[in-house]
Amino acid sequence: MKASELRSKSAADLNKELGELQKAQFSLRMQLATQQLSNNSQIKKTRRDIARVKTVLREKARKA
């Protein structure tokens, strides 16, 4: 997911995306704890996607 893609979305869509990413992150952490996660890099990617969404939301809030 790229920041340029996120900037074209509305704030409501970004908040929805943020909720989905946070649920995915929780699921990945549970899989890691139970040793069911085979690809540990997914956690890092999800965390960075959350940061991107939060950054774009903050940019939109400051603009308004």
**First-to-last CA distance in the chain?**
24
Length of the chain: 64
User: Looking at the predicted structure, is the pLDDT value of residue 62 above 90?
Assistant: yes
Q: What is the CATH number of the domain that holds 38?
A: 1.10.287.310
Q: What is the reported pLDDT for 5?
A: 93
Q: What is the reported pLDDT for 1?
A: 79
Count up the domains in the chain and report the number.
1
Q: What is the reported pLDDT for 64?
A: 82
**Reported pTM:** 0.92
pLDDT tens digits along 2-61 = 889 999 999 999 999 999 999 999 999 999 999 999 999 999 999 999 999 999 999 999
Q: Which pair of structure tokens corresponds to residue 38?
A: 């085979």
Expressed as residue numbers, the domain containing 27 is 3-63
